[in-house]
Amino acid sequence: MNMEIHFTLKQTYGKVRVVPLCINAITFADIAGTSTLTLRAMRNVEALGYKLMCAPMYAGGTAPMTSDQLKEAGVE
């Protein structure tokens, strides 16, 4: 089982959103009943042992990110 979730950060109306990009991230958003993931959801996903992988909006590749870094980026 792949223990990573891939997402990107998107700013809309002054708020930073976590947009799921892979089936694992989409599934967690579905479980949470949202189309994007909240900081609380990301902390829970991380606590389950998943590695958080952030993909830039307009460039290739991914980089690991922690829930603390998501908070610093402005995710609520």
pLDDT for 13-41, tens place per residue? Answer: 999 999 999 999 999 999 999 999 999 99
pLDDT of 43 reads: 96
- Has residue 62 got a pLDDT over 70? yes
Taking phi over 0 as left and psi of -120 to 50 as alpha, with beta for the rest, 74 belongs to left
pLDDT of 49 reads: 96
> Which one, of 52, 67, 71, lies nearest residue 7 by Cα?
52
> Which one, of 40, 73, 39, lies nearest residue 57 by Cα?
73
For all residues of the chain together, what is the average pLDDT? Answer: 91
- Partners of 68 in the β-ladder: none
The pTM (predicted TM-score) of the whole model is 0.86
> Which one, of 3, 5, 7, lies nearest residue 19 by Cα?
7
In angstroms, the CA 15 to CA 1 distance is 32
